Chain A
Amino acid sequence: MTANNGSASPGAEDPRFEDRDIAGTTDNPIPHLDGNAAAGPLWELFRIDIIAAIGRCKNCGAVRVFGEAAVYSDAPGIVVRCSSCGGVLLRLVETPTKFWLDVSGLSYLQIDREG
């Protein structure tokens, strides 16, 4: 049902590409960033460089490097999605008094120890 699941090849007649403001490729209908875009705020919170960390998606089980995840930051918070299934891995909201971090979409994060 979603553009992410579509198999059609890009083409002028494809209605998915009528909305030029969001069109790009079939798999990328709205611009998003990679995991680097979430690294700064997570470093600010935990002093962990998360880019090379390996995470398991609770939704589909994919085990991938965090840096490969899709980050949507044009939103009321940062939403990090699995690049395999599109499921939400992590949400981070900053309010004037708190950070709200939801990592319930991750079964685990494997983080290398320094040195």
Chain B
Amino acid sequence: MGIISSGFHGKRRTGNPALPQGQYETESFPVLTAGPAPYIARADWEFFITTETGQRRAWSWDEFMALPQVDIRTDIHCVTSWSKLGTSWRGVSLDALFEDVETTSEFTTAHSYGGYTTNVPLQDLLDGQAWVAWEFDGEPLERAHGGPARLLVPHLYFWKSAKWVNGIELTPHDVPGFWESNGYHIYGDPWREERYS
């Protein structure tokens, strides 16, 4: 019996090509968290991007909602072995948020309300691969799942999709985040089963 709670109580489905090695499909949406869920009113929420030169851009909730909104349908894969297929989200592409940001950095750290961090290479946030999502399954994203808004980087293990996201810091080096600094993989590709460091 391991010490890690998978939050998963579904059935194993083998042979499904949509499931990476070692993953199981679940119909539910398990809540995994490293701490209490912060409460952030939309009026208090902001999303920032800071660069290596100290430039800072920030969007209020209203400014964020005025950006182009897109619907996303994607599979998500949690490192604790559950996968949820065909999930529906709505949010803003990181491409739109980075449109006027000038940087030579290759790495980022996502910061969340409550202190959580996770590192993602910049190229994994761009070209239609990542969003700041605020709606799940047609409803405002529940606080338990990261509402008002969370990062959504579905091609990496879901710990990279930081709940309660507050902003992105461009960094000169790849700086391990909360889980990456304590045993988990620096990159986290589920199709290569990059779970642990």
Seen from chain A, the residues whose Cβ lies within 8 Å of a Cβ on chain B are: 1-4, 6, 15-16, 18-19, 21-22, 28-30, 32, 40-41, 72-79, 81, 86, 88, 91-98, 100, 102
Contact = CB atoms under 8 A, between A and B. Distances in A.
Interface residues of B, number: 36
A94 B37 contact: no
Given A1-B38, A2-B39, A29-B36, A93 B179 contact: yes
A21 B142 contact: yes
A15 B33 CA distance: 20
A15 B38 CA distance: 12
Contact of B182 (A1, A81, A100): A100
Contacts of B2: 94
A73 B32 CA distance: 8
Given A15-B41, A92-B3, A76 B114 contact: no
Nearest to B79: A76
A74 B82 CA distance: 13
A98 B197 CA distance: 10
B31 A22 contact: yes
B140 to A, nearest CB: 10
A98 B113 CA distance: 30
A94 B39 contact: no
B183 to A, nearest CB: 3
14 contacts: A3-B36, A19-B147, A21-B31, A22-B142, A22-B143, A41-B3, A74-B5, A74-B31, A86-B35, A88-B115, A93-B182, A95-B183, A95-B196, A100-B182
Interchain residue pairs A-B with the least CB separation, the first 3: A100-B183, A93-B183, A2-B38
Interface of B: 2-5, 7, 30-41, 44, 79-80, 113-115, 142-144, 147, 159, 179, 181-184, 195-197
B183 A98 contact: yes
A30 B159 contact: no
Given A1-B40, A30-B36, A76 B80 contact: yes
A108 to B, nearest CB: 20
Contacts of A96: 196
Given A77-B3, A93-B183, 17 more contacts: A2-B36, A16-B39, A30-B31, A30-B36, A40-B3, A74-B7, A74-B33, A75-B33, A76-B32, A76-B34, A78-B3, A79-B34, A86-B35, A93-B4, A94-B183, A97-B196, A100-B183
A30 B4 CA distance: 17
Nearest to B144: A22
A15 B181 CA distance: 34
